[in-house]
Structure 1
Amino acid sequence: MNIENLPQGDVRLLDTPTAQRLLAAPLVARLAYMGKDATPRVIPVNFLWTGDELVIAAFAGTYKVRDLRARPDVAVCIDTADGPPQALMLRGRVTMTETDGVLPEYATMQRQGRAEEDANAYLETIDQPGLRMVRISLRPTWVGVVDFGEDRLPGRTPDPVREALSTAQ
């Protein structure tokens, strides 16, 4: 089967050019989960793709960590707003590991999003005795890719919309 023709939900979609581009881009992901009161939450998070899992870092004791421990099923969206829209959607169950000090993945995320001097100063400031962080990892069990520039549209996109988009490219 051609990887570009995989159905939504197939984890092999992680290997598509669109998914790889979004996983490597310096974008913010949106993490969706259920809060303590059983209502949905969506929050922006920095992330790091390791090749096998999406890693999100959190400080121990936050509401996000508490809520994810109680309900570890999540959805994540990484998308673009410029040009033809592209989106990578992931679902699955997170695992969490609490550690002392700054998580290596968190340090990498900070260095990707800031000037090196600023990132190092920030990391030195927070890396104090007693700092606890939580490594939140997601190995997706469901993957969806939407790429209006590559004609990978949502499954129920009406034919006139598909036709109009194909002639506009």
Structure 2
Amino acid sequence: MEQTEITEILNRPYARELLGRDLTRLAYVAADGTPRAVPIAFTWNGAQIVLCTTRNSPKLPSLRRNPQVALTIDTEVHPPKILLIRGRAELDDVDGIPEEYLQMNGSYRMSAEQRVEWEAEVRSLYDGMVRIVITPTWVKLIDFETTLPSAVEELVRQRAERQNA
């Protein structure tokens, strides 16, 4: 997929709305060769998806071995809005707490006092984290208004062909 097409899709209003959410599902191949899909907080910096995890996370050896990942960001309403992203994970070990981690967890409903307590707990627990940075190499937006899953698009086309025959 060309970068211009990726950019065009990611700049659509529904894609922007989905990129503003706080939770994605990260799919990768685990060390035992089986697939994993885990929910994880994220932030979009305008060009990349940034995830943060603990230095001892079981996903890190798997991502080092095979950095190809897929992400799903979606809504819980009907019809759903779905953003599918594929890319390559780059791992960046960071001392302290990455600013993105504090930012991505800023959307949870906390009082000012709870936020201070949460941040103090995070800073006392982690001496560092790993930033997982994913640059999209393929994207698809499914909004059930202008775009559909490819299998449904095929069925719509086949139905139209039958009706026109």
Alignment TM-score, normalising by the size of structure 2: 0.84
Equivalent position to 1:112, from 107, 111, 123: 107
User: Are 2:61 and 1:71 aligned?
Assistant: no
Structure 1 residue ranges without an equivalent (≥5):
1-5, 164-169
Amino acid at match of 1:119: R
Deviation string 1:97-128 (CA, Å, 9 cap, x unpaired) is 11111110001112111314323211111213
Q: What is the DSSP-based 3-state SS (H/G/I as helix, E as strand, rest coil) of the residue aligned with 1:92?
A: strand
Root mean square deviation of aligned Cα = 2.5
Alignment TM-score, normalising by the size of structure 1: 0.83
User: Are 2:117 and 1:121 aligned?
Assistant: yes
Q: Aligned-pair distance for 1:130?
A: 6.1
Q: What is the DSSP-based 3-state SS (H/G/I as helix, E as strand, rest coil) of the residue aligned with 1:90?
A: strand
Deviation string 1:57-112 (CA, Å, 9 cap, x unpaired) is 10101101221111110000001121311100000101111111111000111211
Give percent identity, aligned residues only: 35
List aligned pairs for 1:5-154, cutoff 5 A.
Answer: 10-12=5-7, 13-26=9-22, 28-115=23-110, 116-128=112-124, 131-148=127-144, 150-154=145-149
User: Are 2:145 and 1:159 aligned?
Assistant: no
How many residues are matched?
Answer: 155
